[in-house]
A = this chain, B = another copy of it.
């Protein structure tokens, strides 16, 4: 089964960007010991003060789906949902390898 990658963009109000970054970094921290999550990097952009990007690599699409049921993820979703104005997935990705994933 191939790995599963995501690169997504969240849009929030400018004054709530730090809050979303904090929530997403908390989620990343909660997945430090989750082997199925190989990469979860949170970015902001100098070009768009309302944008927060996340790059994810999972061992499989199923693993990613299952993670959404974890309590940490449910908490993230509850906290983040009210401040997220838009979600865009740049595209679903098939990780081929590289530095930073197994």
Contacts and interface: CB of A to CB of B under 8 A. Distances in A.
Contacts of A32: 99
Nearest to A32: B99
Looking at chain A, what size class is its interface with the partner chain? Answer: 35 or more
Given A43-B5, A53-B7, A92-B46, A100 B101 contact: yes
Contacts of A47: 91-92
Contacts of A40: 98-100
Interface string A48-79: 10010111010000000000000000000000
Interface of A: 5, 7, 21, 24-25, 28-29, 31-32, 37-48, 51, 53-55, 57, 90-101
